[in-house]
Amino acid sequence: KQEVTQIPAALSVPEGENLVLNCSFTDSAIYNLQWFRQDPGKGLTSLLLIQSSQREQTSGRLNASLDKSSGRSTLYIAASQPGDSATYLCAVRPLKSDSWGKFQFGAGTQVVVTP
């Protein structure tokens, strides 16, 4: 069974510092991996999607890397701002037919960026 882990559970950084968020998964047979942002009391918003054949994906200050063989993805947020404070979750989409389309989520990393 696929297990998705995000460590640490919480992180606090001063404004301007780069953020590094980790996601690990136990089964490398994935179709893709997504990173989401969740603000308190809100739903999830997809930030980046990386296909299993890709090594990284970028959008503005966000960069996500994927190392499928080692079961890891990292989300980098450059020059953090207080508005980046949120919980960040990763989710993998399995490649196996019996789990096709069923995304598996990590528990998330709660980020606080202090002014």
Binding site for another protein (CB under 8 A): 4, 9, 31-32, 34, 36, 41-46, 49, 51, 89, 91, 101-108
Please state the closest distance from residue 28 (CB atom) to another protein, in A: 17
Q: What is d(CA 69, CA 86) in angstroms, rounded to the nearest whole number?
A: 29
Name which of 46 and 114 has its Cβ closer to another protein. Answer: 46
Please state the closest distance from residue 32 (CB atom) to another protein, in A: 5
Name which of 19 and 106 has its Cβ closer to another protein. Answer: 106
Kindly state the tokens that stand for 93.
């989409």
Please state the closest distance from residue 106 (CB atom) to another protein, in A: 5
Q: What is d(CA 84, CA 112) in angstroms, rounded to the nearest whole number?
A: 8
State the CB neighbour count (10 A cutoff) for residue 109: 22
CA-based nearest residue to 58, from 72, 75, 42? 75
Name which of 43 and 115 has its Cβ closer to another protein. Answer: 43
β-bridge pairing 72-77 and 19-25: antiparallel
